[in-house]
Structure 1
Amino acid sequence: MRNTMPKTLTVLAGSAMLAAGAAHADRSDWPDNFTVGTASQGGTYFVYGSGWANFIADELGVSGGGEVTGGPTQNLALVHSGDVAFGLTTMGPASDAVKGESPLAPGVAMDNVCAMFPMYETPFSITALADSGIESISDIPDGARIGFGPAASTSDTYFPAMLETLGVDFERRNGGWSDLGGQLQDGLLDVIAFAAGIPIPAVSQLEVQTDVNIIEFTEEELETILENYPVAEFSIPASTYETLEEDARAVSMWNFAIAGCDLPEDFIYEVTKVTMENNDRMKSVHRSAATTIPENIKHNTVLPFHPGAARWYEDNGHEIDPDLIK
């Protein structure tokens, strides 16, 4: 088995009491520590991934934490190479990675990446300042400066193409969500095109500081995008943001937590168990985790499930296609 992480950190002393099952698990081949690849600060991945890492570390008594990365596409590469144990990704980049079509490693089929559990759907949404006069996609002026998030992120991979398909002419900008939010507020950007779990921290922060428009797709625009991209119809609930007065039409991709396929089966079993059996705790990390439940494993048809995760699902009455288990 490949050594997927350094042994410089030791098991935490005096951590929270172990979950009953984990306390009796064979830990002889467990890692001493782990890292979760997330995304940029100000985005949902960073909040969700860092919070989940701390939760798992506390419950299992293994030192761990989140790491800022370029997002889903880079996380797939980092997990495949063993540079991080865990990562967060979306199904679009995952499909590209297993086919050897990742922009970060063209021609390399990433076969050391396994699914663990479903996270949430990532809506694609657009935000502009209210005083910009941009209230719809058709209002975006030619040459608009649009922030698409970190380079090679899900947002940066798919949103520019979607907007081009809808006839939008723009200048492409990249950066972390917090930084792009600041640029929008300072007038350095005209629009931010987000692909992130809701509520997006950067948008929530903008709402506190200024008036914004959260722009939805028209029915015609929605139909065009659904016909051309690997996304599903989604509705952003009005309760998500103070700005919204009614639900907003959008599209989305599912997110899954991933692990190196060569990590110990018992370790991944316990990680999956703790996550799946404590949804209230997960929702306290980020409310998008309301959909971090075993019933949503059906939304992964791309990545093989880690055998440790698959065993927990099967032990608890959730069927997985045998062909989809590593």
Structure 2
Amino acid sequence: MKRKSIIVISMLMAVLLLLSACGSTSEPAQPADSGTSSDEGINKSDYFITVATGPTSGLYYPIGGAYANLIKNKLGYQSSAQSTGASVENINLILGAKADLAITMSDSVAQAYEGFGAFEGQEPKDNLRCLMGLYPNYVQLVTTKASGIEKFEDLKGKKVGIGAPNSGVELNARMMYEAHGMTYEDSTVDYLNYGEAIDQMKNNLIDAAFVTSGIPNATIMELGTTHDIVIIPIEGEGAKNLIEKYPFFVREIIPKDTYETETDVNTVTVRNILLVREELPEDVVYDLTKGIFENIDDVKASHNTADKHISLENSQIGVNIPFHAGAEKYYKEVGIIQ
């Protein structure tokens, strides 16, 4: 009797197990979230995306910070923004694998990629890769009415802030002097970033400063609260010489309502681009590119310059080096490039 009871119980257990199996879903159990993207197979916890920006007084810093926040909060990677000396330092951080994304001016990138200017005598950095084009930087030669400076040639004998050594601003200043048939020896130059230079101008310690940034620039606007601002035009023969030798410069106008100047001001612009470290895997860069454009409003909200210029439609403007294969894959997918 006991043997029959055991057999019956065993049969009942087998039936229950069979019914349980039939009632379960056919999908395999999902592992706990470990930071892996099921779409791309990327273990995002393996990557800390460092975004190299610029001085805290400029536009690179808030815009770069917006990229880092987007990458962290929307895309699920670890990420942070790093304040730097801007373009040339950022290029070297990318090349030294100490940053993964970096905002730079395309003229600095051209010099590194081809081995001239600030990179004279070095091997061309032909492993630099782009993720996207950003926005135009306006060359703004800033002074005050009290200085008496009205044209570029009036910088002779004046004290001029030209940017931190080998920064994008300083490279621009160097090319401006050259295009106007002048050298730094014609002025008393001080290698200050433009935030420091504007502070010196407030205290009447320098006469003019180069500011290469988007517009309006908050540092220049602050100067306007205590001084009558003058923006010296880049035009005529000087602009012609500049563009002939360095075609990445483009003629542009600073509208008079930007800084409440008396007239619109002729100048030139050079485009900013976002570099990406070549060694990052293609699937990671594809994921970053796709995710950034799907959340681009986060970047646009960082500054009105970003809002006006940074978009998928403008992503190819000013890019004079190859795109990373991951970015290129995305642009082909959405029909931006063939």
Instruction: Please classify the TM superposition score into its range, dividing by the shorter chain length.
Output: 0.7 to 0.9
How far is 1:203 from its partner?
0.9
- CA 1:227/1:304 → structure 2, altered by over 3 Å: closer, same or farther? closer
Structure of larger gyration radius: 2
- CA 1:306/1:188 → structure 2, altered by over 3 Å: closer, same or farther? same
Secondary structure at 1:233 match in 2 = strand
- Between stretches 266-275 and 84-93, larger displacement belongs to 266-275
In the other structure, the counterpart of 2:114 is 99
Which residues in structure 2 correspond to 1:188-203 (within 5 Å)?
188-203=205-220
Structure 2 residue 171 is matched with structure 1 residue 175:
no
Q: TM-score, normalised by structure 1?
A: 0.82
- Between stretches 229-238 and 72-81, larger displacement belongs to 229-238
8 Å contact 2:133–2:319 — kept in the other structure? no
- Between stretches 269-278 and 188-197, larger displacement belongs to 269-278
Structure 2 residue 56 is matched with structure 1 residue 41:
yes
In the other structure, the counterpart of 2:310 is 292
8 Å contact 1:149–1:177 — kept in the other structure? yes
Secondary structure at 2:301 match in 1 = helix
Structure 2 residue 281 is matched with structure 1 residue 264:
yes
- CA 1:270/1:123 → structure 2, altered by over 3 Å: closer, same or farther? same
One-letter identity of the residue aligned with 1:153: S
8 Å contact 1:40–1:150 — kept in the other structure? no
Cα distance in 1 between the residues matched to 2:172 and 2:159? 17
8 Å contact 2:141–2:211 — kept in the other structure? yes
How far is 1:192 from its partner?
0.5
Aligned length: 298
8 Å contact 1:45–1:197 — kept in the other structure? no
In the other structure, the counterpart of 1:3 is none
* Runs (5+) with no aligned partner, structure 1: 1-17, 321-326
Q: 1:217 aligns with which of 225, 230, 234?
A: 234
Secondary structure at 2:85 match in 1 = coil
- CA 1:30/1:264 → structure 2, altered by over 3 Å: closer, same or farther? farther
- CA 1:59/1:139 → structure 2, altered by over 3 Å: closer, same or farther? same
Q: Aligned-pair RMSD on alpha carbons? A: 2.4
Q: 2:329 aligns with which of 298, 311, 319?
A: 311
Q: TM-score, normalised by structure 2?
A: 0.80
Secondary structure at 1:128 match in 2 = strand
Cα distance in 2 between the residues matched to 1:80 and 1:295? 28
8 Å contact 1:41–1:177 — kept in the other structure? no
Structure 2 residue 177 is matched with structure 1 residue 163:
yes
Q: What percentage of residue pairs aligned between the two structures are identical? A: 26
- CA 1:152/1:266 → structure 2, altered by over 3 Å: closer, same or farther? same
How far is 1:286 from its partner?
1.7
How far is 1:104 from its partner?
5.5
| TM-superposition CA deviations, 1:39-80 (whole Å, max 9, x none) | 222122222212322222221122322212222122112111
Q: 1:116 aligns with which of 131, 138, 148?
A: 131
Secondary structure at 1:198 match in 2 = coil
How far is 1:35 from its partner?
1.3
8 Å contact 2:162–2:169 — kept in the other structure? yes
How far is 1:309 from its partner?
0.9
